[in-house]
């Protein structure tokens, strides 16, 4: 009996939580003019719990089905009268009421933790109406299409791929390669969408961060072209330095998601280097000239063709790395990661992280991740030399050297 009372209390709390949000939106409406408010939603959750308890006692699931049907008809009839009066075509309150009733039943006769989580999620979704509507207004069709492609690749393509290595060296696992590829693209896409939702910002710093979510190397090249076109080198080099810190943050996110055991090895050097990039870059940007704050034209990071190229490069690097490691030994992983980090640090880091859990020692994997980040920094300097002027790439190179030295010092201190 005590357990039942607690579960009924949870069913009531779920209804009250949702009803609080619904009632707040219609708090200025006259008394009795609404189909359901905080009390009605609270009672709806409690009613679902009571009928679920009766159904469970009678050992007859049709009792709950009949109760849900009767509740649906009653709520729909009253909401229909309100809709005709107000000329309102929204069905949100009806669906929310059905969810509250069902969650109340789940709280009593099923997993009460799932019911509580579902109630909180339902209230959060209802309270996020403006945010979700603004999202639809701001998102473009290519971005929505990319999200749909991501869903298909994750929910349909991924389960169909074989989950075993198909090469003689044990390096190429199609499902694993595809999972890590989609994971990397998801990180970029989520950051891109979050930036789009913030609106159009013309600040140089925000522009650099926006582009770095997609590619810090692309930001370096873009700013280099601006310098070559006559814009001041100092603030643009500073913005490129701050963008480099985002690249290191991406590496930390990937390590956190796939191999948290490596964090004690890679966090101190990467975080130290990132702080140096941010501090030095900010100092360079303090006295930026007018006209240096144009946005970086960052493309959608989840285009299909770049994603397929990424997967191919990752598969080739993983296979080559496994073959070299099998022939030479563990220390070759550092060289493989460094070499692949020239063109894409994500590929190099993901290739190195695949070795975690096998025969590869954690310090070796950590060194490979850091080597990839270091070589990628050198690649950005090379891109700066090709795209910008000496004043631009020298400043960026000096900041990168200081960051690399600070990161190396933190690494050796950690290893002692």
Question: Residue 29 has what DSSP assignment?
Answer: S
The dihedral formed by the CA atoms of 212, 218, 221 and 224, expressed in degrees to the nearest 10: -30
Task: Say whether both 225 and 251 belong to one domain.
Answer: yes
Task: Say whether both 145 and 117 belong to one domain.
Answer: no
The pTM is what?
A: 0.52
List of long-range contacts for 393-398, beta carbons under 8 Å, 24+ apart: 393/224, 393/237, 395/233, 395/234, 395/237, 395/238, 395/284, 396/220, 396/237, 396/240, 396/241
As given in the structure block, the two tokens for residue 24 are 């707040």
In a domain, 13, yes or no: yes
Task: Say whether both 183 and 106 belong to one domain.
Answer: no
In a domain, 132, yes or no: no
Q: State pLDDT tens for residues 173-189.
A: 888 778 767 765 665 56
Query: Which residue, 120, 103, 107, 111, is CA-closest to 21?
Result: 120
Give pLDDT tens digits along the chain (416 positions): 568 999 999 999 999 999 888 888 776 666 655 666 788 899 999 999 999 999 999 989 899 999 999 999 998 888 888 878 777 777 888 899 999 999 999 999 999 999 999 999 999 998 888 777 777 777 677 777 777 888 888 888 888 888 887 878 766 788 877 876 776 566 556 656 655 555 433 445 665 666 666 567 767 876 787 788 777 888 888 888 988 898 888 888 888 888 888 888 888 999 999 999 999 988 888 754 444 444 444 455 566 676 677 678 767 766 776 676 566 655 555 666 666 555 566 666 766 676 655 556 777 777 878 888 888 888 788 878 887 788 899 999 999 999 999 999 998 887 76
Q: What angle do CA 363, 368, 369 make, to 5 degrees?
A: 100
Task: Say whether both 88 and 151 belong to one domain.
Answer: no
Q: Which of 84, 107, 127 is the last residue of a domain?
A: 127
Query: What are the helix (H) ranges across 60-140?
Result: 61-86, 92-109, 112-127, 129-138
Domain count, the chain: 2
Give residue 17's domain range. Answer: 2-127
């Amino acid at each position: 009996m005590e357990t039942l009372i607690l579960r009924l209390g949870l069913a009531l709390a779920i209804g009250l939580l949702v009803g609080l949000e619904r009632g707040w939106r219609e708090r200025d409406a006259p008394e009795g003019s609404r189909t359901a408010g905080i009390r009605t939603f609270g009672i709806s959750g409690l009613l679902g719990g009571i009928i679920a308890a009766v159904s469970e006692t009678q050992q007859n699931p049709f009792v709950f089905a009949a109760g849900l049907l009767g509740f649906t008809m009653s709520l729909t009839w009253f909401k229909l009268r309100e809709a005709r009066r107000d000329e309102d075509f929204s069905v949100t309150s009806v669906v929310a009421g059905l969810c509250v009733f069902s969650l109340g039943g789940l709280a009593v006769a099923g997993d009460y933790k799932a019911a509580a989580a579902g109630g909180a999620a339902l209230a959060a979704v209802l309270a996020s109406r403006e945010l979700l509507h603004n999202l639809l207004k701001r998102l473009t069709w290519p971005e929505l299409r990319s999200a749909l492609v991501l869903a298909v690749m994750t929910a349909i393509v991924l389960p169909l791929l074989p989950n075993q290595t198909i090469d003689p060296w044990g390096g190429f696992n199609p499902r694993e390669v595809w999972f890590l590829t989609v994971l990397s693209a998801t990180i970029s896409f989520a950051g891109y969408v979050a930036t789009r939702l913030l609106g159009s910002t013309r600040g140089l710093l925000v522009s650099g961060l926006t582009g770095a979510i997609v590619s810090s190397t692309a930001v370096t090249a873009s700013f280099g072209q601006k310098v070559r076109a006559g814009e001041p080198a100092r603030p643009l080099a500073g913005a490129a330095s701050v963008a480099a810190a985002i690249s290191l943050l991406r590496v930390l996110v990937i390590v956190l998601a796939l191999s948290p055991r490596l964090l004690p090895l890679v966090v101190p050097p990467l975080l130290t280097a990132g702080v140096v990039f941010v501090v030095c870059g900010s100092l360079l940007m303090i006295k930026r000239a007018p006209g240096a704050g144009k946005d970086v034209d960052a493309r959608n990071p989840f285009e299909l063709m770049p994603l397929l190229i990424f997967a191919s490069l990752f598969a080739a690097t993983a296979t080559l790395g496994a073959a070299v490691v099998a022939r030479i030994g563990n220390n070759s992983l550092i060289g493989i990661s460094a070499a692949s980090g020239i063109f894409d640090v994500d590929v190099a880091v993901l290739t190195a992280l695949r070795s975690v859990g096998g025969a590869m020692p954690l310090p070796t994997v950590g060194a490979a991740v850091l080597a990839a980040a270091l070589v990628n920094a050198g690649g950005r300097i090379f891109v700066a030399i090709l795209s910008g002027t000496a004043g631009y790439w020298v400043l960026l190179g000096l900041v990168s050297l200081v960051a690399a030295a600070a990161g190396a010092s933190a690494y050796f201190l950690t290893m002692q």
